Amino acid sequence: MNTNVLHYTVIIMGPAYGTQASFCAYQFCLSLLNSGHQLQSVFFYADGACNANAFTYPANDEFDIINAWQTLAKQYQIKLSVCISAAQRRGIVIGELNHNIATGFELTGLGELSENISRSDRVIQF
């Protein structure tokens, strides 16, 4: 049993496709949760906001990172926070007419990241 539980904040700055950042972050999050550590939220900033685009359709033989994040969030009750200004600049929006934010992701501000970091034992950026 792990007696030394650490609270983590994970920040993702790479998009869902084109860099390895989000994939590495996902594997890291799985590992830390399996080791008994705490992860309250994952924060998507800059190009990382692209992970929240519901219109992302990877081919059948590719790993679906967006679906993986959604499943992880559900299973471990983790908040998937996305910086609202980073998201809007990249065309990821919540609106009455247009809506393409993937289920399970929440638009929020950098203020939340600031608070998360201040309360965490470890902060890891991908």
Residues that bind other proteins (CB under 8 A): 11, 13, 45-46, 85-86, 89, 109-111, 113-115, 117-118, 120, 123, 125
Between 72 and 86, CB nearer to other proteins: 86
Between 70 and 125, CB nearer to other proteins: 125
Sign of CA dihedral 126, 94, 68, 61: negative
Q: How far is the CB of 63 from other proteins (least distance, A)?
A: 25
Beta bridge partners, 53, equal 101
Given 24, 29, 50, 83, the catalytic residue: 83
Q: How far is the CB of 7 from other proteins (least distance, A)?
A: 12
Could you give the C-alpha distances from 44 to 25, 26, 35, 41, 125, in angstroms and in order? 11, 12, 23, 10, 10
In the residue annotation, 29 being an active-site residue is answered as: no
| Number of neighbours of residue 95 by Cβ within 10 angstroms | 8
Between 29 and 113, CB nearer to other proteins: 113
Q: Give residue 87's identity as a one-letter amino acid code.
A: A
How big is the chain, counted in residues? Answer: 126
Give catalytic residues, as residue numbers. 83
